[in-house]
Amino acid sequence: MTNKAKLHIVESAAKYIFTFCAVLAVFAVCSITVYMIAKGTPAFKNVGVSELLFGTLWKPTAAEPSFGIQYIILSSIVGTAASVLLGVPIGLFTAVFLTEVSGKRLAAVVQPAIELLAAIPSVIYGLLGLMLLNPLMYKLERILFAGSETHQFTGGANMISAVLVLAIMILPTVVNVSASSIRAVSKELRAASMALGASKMQTIFKVTVPAAKSGIMTGVVLGIGRALGEAMAINMVAGGSVNLPLPFNSVRFLTTQLVSEMGYAEGIHRQVLFSVGLVLYVFIMVINLLLLKLRKEAVENEA
Amino acid sequence: MKKKTLKTAAAIFAACMMLGSLAGCGSVENETTTAAAAEIKKSTEAAQTTKAETTQAENLSGTVTLAGSTSMKKLCEAMSEGFMETYTDITVTVEYTGSGAGLESLVQGSIDIGNASRALKDGEKEQGAVENIVAIDGIAVITDKDNSVKDLTAEQLADIYTGNVTNWNEIGGEDEAIVVIGREAGSGTRSAFEELLKIEDACSYAQELDNTGAVLAKVASTPGAIGYVSLDVIDDSVLALSLDGVEASEANIVAGKYLLSRPFVMATMGEISEQNELVRAWFDYVASEEGQSIITDIGLILPQ
């Protein structure tokens, strides 16, 4: 066999291997989508779309069961939104500190610390929330609701605990993505701003951060995705009863709904849990499509 | 060039969708999991199977059919798995239709054994069903260690779980809010607890946790908490309350004095000795050392 022929075989073999791997990933996405839709839609037929999505009563095992997941959807939305509102400013300011304010030596300490934060498994966050946050929340709850006739005491497992845990969990994502996009802002822009007499802080807020906007938004959207999809940590701290998402209520999210009831659910109850999964899946898909759009915009901006 | 890539992408997508829908069609997940579980059991137990059992097993073949209580699912799954390991030619099928429906099928003669997670009613006994209690399910009510309340009446307990009583001082304790902790919908412990107190789906839980360990840990660490768990998992971190003056103990449960307990019955038409040899083999297995250890392993109490 000539060298040329050998080369040809290697070339085409490599090509097929790469193609196969790519197909595998696409296949996974497609089959998951098909599966979720196939498994998640029967309950909509059996229970009724509006009854399922907008019903507020969750009694799946009652003699006359009702499968309303409105409070669960609301809890997921409110919990995610609140944790993003809390986590994004902190994350953004940390990113600004890392890239613009701190000296190289300090950044060398803070940056790895934040990366470590991302590496901690979510169950550890849950454990810490359970051991530290919940007792603290219970103390607060007892002071705030002392003598209340209507409040159901939850022992500190509530929405606030979940939001705090989520806010910490999305920090590394927001910090890392924001920091790298702030770093990518060209030096000339900063220099021009300074030359016009703007102070350092003015430059940061009026020039650098706006210039890095699309990258920062990407970080925010990634953070939303992380918060929405988190299950383990908040399952441990949120209490798990289906309630309106008020700060001191025990709440259940779309993710924790699946985690906690999948084990023994049967019949329509099981079907509804798949529908809950489908709702979560649609949310995540929307978030990711948004992300793709933002990335495209960012590329176009740079070009 | 661009057109070609698009075409390829479309082809890949179409192929994926087809494969995906094929995979989605058959609902095979249940069989696979039980098969996998059986595989694990096989490897651990193969060594323990005695020669006598294998020779006996060779002689019997056929099907044993059970139907009834959903609460007995865990017991029936574990038991039939072990049984089919020993008697490889006998197939056990279990349907979970509910205690009443199971006994009805038994009386009609469509199944061999009717499962019930309650004592048989007189009417059922008159029709010829015989109550064979194979295990007893006991539930303990627990509080944190600092709670001064040591005893509750069934009524007080029901009031706590339905939200009529929200502070321990209403039932003779200190001024401390009650944190009502329970299990998730679908849990056997939860359905038994609510059923025995007759507060099915009327409970307002402050926390719904998805496993026994979590309930235990939460109750232990939360002042004023109350929860319920299987009797066998109680440890020093919590206090088990007595109900109507009866302490939650195995002895009291076996004696039938403790409220939160229920028998798991595998009822037959006529005595066990009158059954066909397959059904007798089933009850022999349940009474064997292996069968008894399956019962205690899943947290149930052996009847005396």
Query: In this predicted complex, what is the ipTM?
Result: 0.82
A10 and A109 share a domain?
no
Q: Hey, are the CB atoms on A155 and B179 less than 8 Å from each other?
A: yes
A8 and A75 share a domain?
no
B252 and B153 share a domain?
yes
pLDDT at B102 > cutoff 50: yes
Which range of residues forms the domain containing residue B194?
136-261
State the pLDDT at residue B44: 46
Tell me the whole-structure pTM to 2 decimals. 0.78
B275 and B256 share a domain?
no
pLDDT at A88 > cutoff 60: yes
B47 and B66 share a domain?
no
Q: Hey, are the CB atoms on B207 and A154 less than 8 Å from each other?
A: yes
Which range of residues forms the domain containing residue A36?
1-40
Nearest CA in chain B to A248: B206
B111 and B208 share a domain?
no
| Domain end point (choices B58, B75, B104) | B58
B126 and B273 share a domain?
yes
Residue A159 pLDDT class (50, 70, 90 cuts): very high
Q: What are phi and psi of B89, to 5 degrees?
A: -95, 0
In eight-state DSSP terms, residue A130 is I
B41 and B78 share a domain?
no
A12 and A70 share a domain?
no
In eight-state DSSP terms, residue B302 is P
Per-position DSSP letters for B244-272, written without gaps between them: TTB---HHHHHTT--SSEEEEEEEEES-G
B96 and B127 share a domain?
yes
State the pLDDT at residue A278: 96
> Percent of chain A at pLDDT above 90?
73
Give the CA count within 13 Å in the CB-facing half-sphere of A272: 27
**pLDDT tens track for B4-15:** 555 555 555 555
Residues of A in contact with B204 (CB under 8 A): 152, 241
- Residue that the structure tokens 């995705």 belong to: A225
**pLDDT tens track for A251-292:** 999 999 998 888 777 789 999 999 999 999 999 999 999 888
Question: In this structure, what CATH number is given to the domain that contains residue B121?
Answer: 3.40.190.10
Residue B53 in tokens: 């059992």
The set of residues, in sequence order, having a beta carbon less than 8 Å from that of A100 and lying 6+ positions away, is A182, A200, A204, A208
Our count of domains for chain B comes to: 3
Query: Is B50 within a domain?
Result: yes
Q: CB-based burial of residue B100 (10 Å sphere; 0-12 exposed, 13-18 middle, 19+ buried)?
A: middle
Q: If we measure between CA atoms, which residue out of A60, A264, A127 comes closest to residue B213?
A: A127
Residues of A in contact with B174 (CB under 8 A): none
B225 and B159 share a domain?
yes
Residue A91 pLDDT class (50, 70, 90 cuts): very high
The set of residues, in sequence order, having a beta carbon less than 8 Å from that of B133 and lying 6+ positions away, is B263, B264, B265, B303
A170 and A200 share a domain?
yes
Q: CB-based burial of residue B257 (10 Å sphere; 0-12 exposed, 13-18 middle, 19+ buried)?
A: middle
Residue A212 in tokens: 């890095």
**pLDDT tens track for A216-228:** 999 999 999 999 9
Q: Are A41 and A278 in contact (CB under 8 A)?
A: yes
Residue B27 pLDDT class (50, 70, 90 cuts): very low
State the pLDDT at residue A287: 92
B146 and B39 share a domain?
no
B102 and B169 share a domain?
no
B126 and B274 share a domain?
yes
Residues of B in contact with A39 (CB under 8 A): 24
Q: What is the mean pLDDT of chain B?
A: 82
Question: Which one of A155, A235, A252 has the shortest CB-CB distance to B206?
Answer: A155
Mutate to test the interface with A, among B5, B21, B179 (most CBs of A within 10 A): B179
A129 and A213 share a domain?
yes
State the pLDDT at residue B118: 85
A91 and A32 share a domain?
no
The set of residues, in sequence order, having a beta carbon less than 8 Å from that of B286 and lying 6+ positions away, is B79, B134, B266, B292, B295
Our count of domains for chain A comes to: 2
Residues of A in contact with B179 (CB under 8 A): 153-155
